[in-house]
Structure 1
Amino acid sequence: MSGPKAPRADEFGEIERLFRPLTGGAPGAYGLMDDAAVVPGRPGFDLVITKDAIVEGVHFPQGEAPGLVAQKLLRVNLSDLAAKAAEPFACFLAVAWPERFEAADRAAFAAGLGADLKTFGVDLLGGDTVATPGPFWASLTALGWVPQGQMVRRAGAVPGNILMVSGVIGDGGLGLAAVRGEVADPDGYLAGRYRLPIPRLDLRDALREAATAAADVSDGLVADVRHIAEASGVRLAIDLDRLPLSEAARRWLAVQPDRAKALLALASAGDDYEIVCTAAKGAGLAGCTVIGEVRRGEGLEVRCDGKLIDPGPGGWRHL
């Protein structure tokens, strides 16, 4: 890593202490002592690259534990690679430390990141560290390998395909509400789902074999389905009555006065980091639930209790 020297600390000494161990000894990282890294080619594979940033007060609450922030940053990027059916292997990090961050906070961030890098088999190859008077933010670029020509794109859905989603939907949004104290969460399950999503890397082989299009559910299921529809030039129909829900989400839904409105809220909240995909009818993917179909036309069609409803934006928008 390299960058302007922070006035409060020995930046390069701190990089050596905190981040050099996270390279995993990858030769192309050069011990983080250079301004760049080398990623050697892998015959028969395409290099897949993705980049996401998170900002305090936007993607995570102010005062969130730095280690958790680092882990979520890595995981949301790995979720993008999971949706592309790619195998992650390396990353680059940029982080802006606010003035209130002490050495212990920076060390906690590095420790959290290091723990997840080990868990997911990813090496840190480089990046940048800077100081900022504004909110804490960090950005990560993740790299993965996929067999040549087998990356699953958003474009690829065709009429007659089924629409599926992995896992359960709505826990991310309810988890944020739980962190804010707006939803009961006695066992901490919902907050955990929001703070530490699990990238669906386990679906990699199944997606390569069966998916015609895919995206991760980050902005909101409805919004991300719309992205697939637009990229593929088709119309996607979602049946909210088929939405897979956790027990916690079902308990929340049971006390809502307007079921259709509540289901749409769960399908629009985002932060689930599941995979929504299309596949040929009858294909089926283990761990995925059929929630709709691909039709001729364009745009999005959302139904609940057999009735068409207006989905609105269907998810988070930054602009």
Structure 2
Amino acid sequence: MGEFELIRRYFSAAACAQKTAGVAYGIGDDCALLEIPPGEQLAISTDTLVVGVHFPDGCDPFLLGQRALATTASDLAAMGARPIGFTLALTLPEADPAWLEAFARGLDHKARSCGLALIGGDTTRGPLCLTLTVMGRVPQGLALRRDGARPGDLLCVGGPLGDAAGALQLITGRRQAAAAIAEPLLARYWAPRPQLALGLELRGKASAALDVSDGLLADCGHIARASGVALYIEQERLPLSEALSALLHREEALACALSGGDDYVLAFTLPEAFLAELQAQWPIQVIGRVEVGEGVHLLDGSGREIEARRQGYQHFGGSSD
């Protein structure tokens, strides 16, 4: 099967590749053409996923298709951007029809749930690698950024933390669990749900935001540095799911929540005046506060500062500090 036949058979015909709002011209030419309304800005993010680094060799291609797009689309949520489209650069060791069919189905399923249209990309031969670029739009001046946190703001997250790190215990065979425990954790890892609607709701409310991908402590460090403030995280207020608490002892579960990464929930700072309105619609949990100073500080139940053994994941370093 040649490159162009592969594209036509598995991607051009997919439901997510059909013309939609914001896409004037999609797959089929040298470039896609997007339509951005006046007064709006284009938000763009790119992620690369490499076999053996971001996903295990031999994993289910349907689940991989979902995960690959979801993790990239989460960056749009973090900026409060409304999704438009995405491109896929796919490097394959071989053109296996069964693998491609399953991968394309997973990709299409997640694209339609996120409101993203497939508008182009590339295919080539080599070790399995996926590079996805997502595009969205946001009104000028309303994009959520990392540099707006102010002393007095609350530090919040959009849902439970640590589930994906707990799932890795199951995926790697280090732990086993009954289906009632394993299935919700594995779903959080293989089929993340980017908090796109929450990102839109946080426009004009959150002072800073990002998605938790490399671990809460590491990612909150980005907000602290960009905003020139100190973030204080109260360990006992971290939201843990029932499944994670059933799989791991509390100290292990807290470690997953603090440094495990791959949760793809939003972490954001918020003036307290907006909290009640948002909590009426979303499972938002206050986990700390913003103060004058610098860095990220972890507090125990008595309010004393404690040291985390691991901050989060970082390429070319293993963990961030």
Paired with 2:111 and 2:271, the residues of 1 have a C-alpha distance of 35
Paired with 1:246 and 1:137, the residues of 2 have a C-alpha distance of 32
- 1:201–1:89 distance in 2 versus 1, CA, 3 Å: same
Paired with 1:129 and 1:162, the residues of 2 have a C-alpha distance of 45
Residue 267 of structure 2 aligns to a residue whose secondary structure is strand
Q: Output one character per residue of 1:65-90: Cα deviation in whole Å (capped at 9) or x when no partner.
A: 11211111111111111111111110
Correspondence 1:171-250 to 2 at 5 A: 171-187=163-179, 188-250=183-245
Q: Which moved more, 1:19-28 or 1:200-209?
A: 19-28
> Contact 2:26 / 2:33 at 8 angstroms: preserved in 1?
no
- 1:276–1:70 distance in 2 versus 1, CA, 3 Å: same
Q: Does 1:68 align with 2:63?
A: yes
Residue 204 of structure 2 aligns to a residue whose secondary structure is helix
Corresponding position of 1:118:
112
Query: What's the offset of the Cα at 1:262?
Result: 4.8
Paired with 1:185 and 1:208, the residues of 2 have a C-alpha distance of 40
Number of matched pairs: 304
Paired with 1:106 and 1:95, the residues of 2 have a C-alpha distance of 10
> Contact 2:24 / 2:35 at 8 angstroms: preserved in 1?
no
Residue 194 of structure 2 aligns to a residue whose secondary structure is coil
> Contact 1:29 / 1:126 at 8 angstroms: preserved in 2?
no
Paired with 1:196 and 1:43, the residues of 2 have a C-alpha distance of 34
Query: What's the offset of the Cα at 1:266?
Result: 2.5
Corresponding position of 2:142:
150
Paired with 2:256 and 2:69, the residues of 1 have a C-alpha distance of 26
Paired with 2:170 and 2:227, the residues of 1 have a C-alpha distance of 36
Please, which of 52, 58, 82 is the counterpart of residue 47 of structure 2? Answer: 52
> Contact 2:234 / 2:300 at 8 angstroms: preserved in 1?
yes
Q: Which moved more, 1:263-272 or 1:216-225?
A: 263-272
> Contact 1:85 / 1:146 at 8 angstroms: preserved in 2?
yes
Residue 305 of structure 1 aligns to a residue whose secondary structure is coil
> TM-score under structure 2 normalisation?
0.89
- Provide the identity percentage: 41
Corresponding position of 2:295:
299
Unmatched 5+ residue regions in structure 1? Answer: 1-8
Tell me which amino acid in the other structure corresponds to 2:219: D
- 1:317–1:38 distance in 2 versus 1, CA, 3 Å: same
Correspondence 1:55-134 to 2 at 5 A: 55-99=50-94, 102-132=96-126, 134=127
Tell me which amino acid in the other structure corresponds to 2:119: L
Runs of 4+ in 1 over 4 A off after TM superposition: 26-31
Query: What's the offset of the Cα at 1:30?
Result: 4.7
Tell me which amino acid in the other structure corresponds to 2:263: D
Query: What's the offset of the Cα at 1:309?
Result: 1.7
Task: Give the RMSD, CA atoms, in angstroms.
Answer: 1.8
Paired with 2:18 and 2:191, the residues of 1 have a C-alpha distance of 23
Q: Output one character per residue of 1:40-73: Cα deviation in whole Å (capped at 9) or x when no partner.
A: 2211211111111111111111111112111111
- 1:104–1:230 distance in 2 versus 1, CA, 3 Å: same
Unmatched 5+ residue regions in structure 2? Answer: 317-321
Residue 64 of structure 1 aligns to a residue whose secondary structure is coil
> Contact 1:29 / 1:125 at 8 angstroms: preserved in 2?
no
Query: What's the offset of the Cα at 1:19?
Result: 1.2
Correspondence 1:217-296 to 2 at 5 A: 217-253=212-248, 255=249, 259=251, 262-284=253-275, 285-286=278-279, 287-296=283-292
- 1:277–1:62 distance in 2 versus 1, CA, 3 Å: same
> Contact 1:97 / 1:137 at 8 angstroms: preserved in 2?
yes
Query: What's the offset of the Cα at 1:31?
Result: 5.6
